[in-house]
Amino acid sequence: MKKLTVYSLAMLFIMASVVPVPALGRVLRLPLDEGAHRLITPLGDIAFEVVGQVSNLSPTVSKQYGYLSLINGLSAGQIFTTADPTLQNETSALFTFFTDAITERVISDGRLRVVNRTGTTTIYFDDFPDGTFANRDSFADGIPILTMNYRQQVILDTGDGTFTVVNLLTVTSRQSFELGGERFRLGKVRDQFRQFYSGAPPTGTPALSGVFAGYAVVIEPADREKHEQ
């Protein structure tokens, strides 16, 4: 893993002044994390979008990984190493994610299978990206900027192999990072996101269990009285 100087991803609200930054949305300048800025996504709005794949290594172990294709408040040129949309993919993505999950239960409902999982999702910032779906561990590379507890429900259609997913993500730790000479924070402890995926079966690689894409919206934080300011 590369050594780098230091979102998830959602946002610090209280007792701060608004600072305009070109190409960014609203930004707060805070005394924490050596003056790091924090992007703000309103409740119910999309905080980030993802593109990924899943490998179910056993009936109980699932690895889900990929990259962020949108972050609210950052331009595509800040999320990828290139502003050319035809080259914005896993090889040029500065922000990646990796989920370690354990399957707790599978419910059969006709041709549907309902899968419940828990685990941890981590979002990484890597200013020398080398993501490749041929090596899932390449998405767990860089600085872990957001770590989240994770609860998942998957609804799998066994007829065609398509699936839909809802995740609940709760931030447990965060780290600032440097981008374009500025320091940013993409979340705070107890921030929560509701994440939605749509997925399909793989085309080729036997170890691959599915491909998916989706987005995460900001919801009310967990335990608001203890919510980090």
The answer to whether the CB of 73 falls within 8 A of the CB of 39 is: yes
Q: Average pLDDT of 1-24?
A: 33
Instruction: Compute the distance between CA of residue 106 and CA of residue 156 in angstroms, rounded to an integer.
Output: 10
Helices (H), 88-184: none
Percent of the chain with pLDDT over 90: 72
Integer angstrom CA distances of residue 79 from 157, 169, 185, 200 = 33, 21, 14, 25
Distance CA 229, CA 222 (A): 13
User: For residue 3, is pLDDT > 50?
Assistant: no
CA dist 165 and 84 (Å) reads 30
Domain boundaries, the chain: 37-219
Nearest alpha carbon to residue 154 among 111, 106, 202: 106
The amino acid present at 184, given as its one-letter code, is F
Per-residue model confidence (pLDDT) at position 30? 41
User: Token digits for 45?
Assistant: 């709005």
Query: In this model, does residue 17 exceed pLDDT 90?
Result: no
Structure token digits, residue 195: 């994440």
Look-up of token digits 């007829």: 159
- Specify the pTM: 0.82
Q: In angstroms, what CA-CA distances link 169 with 131, 193, 209? A: 23, 5, 22
Say how far apart CA 99 and CA 148 lie, in whole Å: 9
Q: How much of the chain exceeds pLDDT 70, in percent?
A: 80
For residue 79, is pLDDT > 80?
Answer: yes
Q: Where residue 102 falls among pLDDT bands split at 50, 70, 90?
A: very high
The CA distance from 153 to 168, in Å, is 9
pLDDT-based confidence at 32, cuts 50/70/90? very low
- Residue 35 pLDDT: 66
